[in-house]
Amino acid sequence: MKNKYDRPSTGQMQTAEKRHAADLPFALLTLLLLAIGVVTVLSASFASAYYDIQGETGHDPVYYFSRQAVFALAGVGVMALCSRVPMRVWRRLAGPVMALSLGSLAAVLAVGSVVNGARRWINLGFTTFQPSEITKIAIILYFSALICKYKDRMRTFRYGIAPFALVLSAVAALLVMEPHFSATIIILMIGASMLFLGGAALGWFIGGAGLLGVGGVLAVALVPYVAERVNSFRDPFSDLTGDGWQIVQSLYAIGSGGLTGLGLGQSRQKYLYLPEEHNDFIFSVVCEELGFIGASLILVLFALLILRGYWLCMHAPDRFSFLVGGGITTMLALQVVLNAAVCTNLVPCTGISLPFFSYGGTALLIQMAEAGIVLSLSREIPFAETEGPSPIRKK
Name residue 200's amino acid: A
pLDDT recorded at residue 2 = 43
Indicate the number of domains in the chain: 1
Compute the distance between CA of residue 357 and CA of residue 282 in angstroms, rounded to an integer.
7
**Pairing between β-strand 128-129 and β-strand 118-123 as defined by DSSP bridges:** antiparallel
In tens, the pLDDT along 98-153 reads 999 999 999 988 887 777 667 787 877 777 778 889 999 999 999 999 999 988 88
Residue 180 scores a pLDDT above 90:
no
- Considering only 39-43, 63-67, 124-128, 303-307, which range has the smallest mean pLDDT? 124-128
Compute the distance between CA of residue 74 and CA of residue 316 in angstroms, rounded to an integer.
28
Is residue 90, in this structure, part of any structural domain at all? yes
* Signed CA dihedral, 122, 376, 70, 327: sign only: negative
Which residues 6+ apart lie within 8 Å of 352 measured at CB? 182, 186, 280, 335, 338, 339, 342
Q: What are phi and psi of 316, to 5 degrees?
A: -60, 145
pLDDT recorded at residue 336 = 97
By residue range, what is the domain housing residue 200? 21-382
Residue 334 scores a pLDDT above 50:
yes
Compute the distance between CA of residue 278 and CA of residue 58 in angstroms, rounded to an integer.
17
Is residue 255, in this structure, part of any structural domain at all? yes
Averaged pLDDT of the chain: 86
Which residues 6+ apart lie within 8 Å of 203 measured at CB? none
Q: Which H or E element spans position 326?
A: helix 319-343
Is residue 135, in this structure, part of any structural domain at all? yes
Alpha carbon of 52 to those of 37, 60, 276, 287: distances in Å? Answer: 22, 8, 13, 24
In tens, the pLDDT along 152-178 reads 888 888 877 889 999 999 999 999 888
Is residue 91, in this structure, part of any structural domain at all? yes
Compute the distance between CA of residue 220 and CA of residue 230 in angstroms, rounded to an integer.
8
For residue 322, the Cα-to-chain-centroid distance in whole angstroms is 18
Compute the distance between CA of residue 83 and CA of residue 77 in angstroms, rounded to an integer.
10
Per-residue pLDDT, averaged over 352-361, amounts to 92
Is residue 276, in this structure, part of any structural domain at all? yes
Which residues 6+ apart lie within 8 Å of 160 measured at CB? 150, 153, 154, 195, 198, 199, 200, 201, 204
In tens, the pLDDT along 63-91 reads 999 999 999 999 999 999 999 999 999 99
Is residue 366, in this structure, part of any structural domain at all? yes
Buried b (16+ CB within 10 A) or exposed e, 12-25: bebbeeebeebbee
Q: What's the Rg (C-alpha) of the chain?
A: 21
Compute the distance between CA of residue 260 and CA of residue 248 in angstroms, rounded to an integer.
21
The pLDDT confidence band at residue 299, using thresholds 50, 70 and 90, is: very high
Residue 89 · residue 321 · CB < 8 Å: no
Residue 138 · residue 369 · CB < 8 Å: no
% pLDDT > 70, the chain: 90
Q: What is the pTM of this model?
A: 0.88
Q: Choose between 255 and 152: higher pLDDT.
A: 255
